[in-house]
Amino acid sequence: MTDDGGRLRRSSRRRHRWSLIERELRRQGGTLIAGVDEVGRGSLAGPVVACAVIMPPDERAIGGVDDSKQLTAAQRIRLAVRIREHALSIGIGAASVREIDRINIYHATVLAMRRALGRLTLPPDHVLVDGKQIRTLPVTHTAVVGGDGRCFSIACASIIAKVTRDRLMHSLGKRHPGYLWERNVGYGTPAHWSALESQGSCRHHRHFFISSRQLTLDFEVAGVSCEEAADAMLDDAIGIPDTDHSHTVRSSQFAVQSTAPPA
């Protein structure tokens, strides 16, 4: 199988059980664990998408669930259906290209995670985040380096986030066929770079990620911007109404845990 950059990847791991980290958190108190992960951080185009998932603690882990990068597109789609069928709550959040350019990708990623957590319909007892501890994430959380390959709940979040973002980029690819987003979903493959060099960029490309020495950028469009259209398409794809979410995660609910030093 290949990743977004076309490199060959092999996976011998599959999540058939809850991790020791998740089981230990339950022993410390509270049963509802929200796994959080993001996708699209290194892409040249499109939003960064985050997902928070609470899976039922009294059920076995779904066989085959793993880090989304270790799965084929067909496997991710099949597993995403099963995760949605079993999950107690799923929250998806995104940060747009405009936000990424304005506040940088790191803070945009945190913003997407905050939105995902805020859209959960149940308050989790613990939050597990892939990567290092995030000082600016306004909930206490356990940070797990490589968590999408180590923790069942984070792996579930990584699959839903990946499938959601891929669906959006495929839709945008139909409007902008020259960039081959149906294949590279916005990442910097040779074909994508070649298209950028030959035809320039559109509003879905990230200013900061593209060298001005290589491209002539033209971000002016008439009427409704492409970015606004992308935001609307994302909301439609993940079923989020265009209103403020009613549930707000309170950081005081969670016990502080971390398996990694602060980022």
Look at residue 261 in the predicted model and tell me its pLDDT: 33
**Do residue 103 and residue 208 come from a single domain?**
no
* Whether residue 155 sits in one domain with residue 49: yes
Q: Find all residues with CB under 8 Å of 198, minimum gap 6, and list them.
A: 178
Residues 137 and 181 placed together within one structural domain of the fold: no
Based on the fold, state whether residues 53 and 109 are members of the same structural domain.
Answer: yes
Write down the residue that tokens 């980022």 correspond to. 263
- H helix or E strand, kind and range, residue 181: helix 181-184
Measure the CA–CA gap between 210 and 261, rounded to whole angstroms: 31
pLDDT at 211: 58
Q: What are the E-state strand segments in 17-112?
A: 33-39, 48-54, 89-95
| Strands of the 142-144 sheet, one edge to the other | 89-95, 48-54, 33-39, 126-130, 142-144
Q: Which residue has the tokens 């593209």?
A: 210
DSSP string, 69-108: GGS-HHHHHHHHHHHHHH-SEEEEEEE-HHHHHHH-HHHH
Q: Are 83 and 160 in contact (CB under 8 A)?
A: yes
DSSP category for residue 68 = G
Q: What is the mean pLDDT of each run of 10 residues along the chain (263 residues)?
A: 42 62 89 96 96 95 93 96 98 96 94 96 94 86 92 96 97 95 95 93 89 40 37 47 33 31 34
Q: What is the structure's pLDDT at 224? A: 33
Cα gap 22→42, rounded to integer Å: 28
DSSP state of 31: -
75 and 101 both lie in a single domain: yes
Same domain, 161 and 44: yes
129 and 96 housed in the same domain:
yes
Reading the block at residue 164, the tokens are 């959601």
- Could you tell me the two tokens for 103? 């506040």
**What's the pLDDT score for residue 99?**
96
Q: Is 49 helix (H, G, I), strand (E, B) or coil?
A: strand
Same domain, 134 and 64: yes
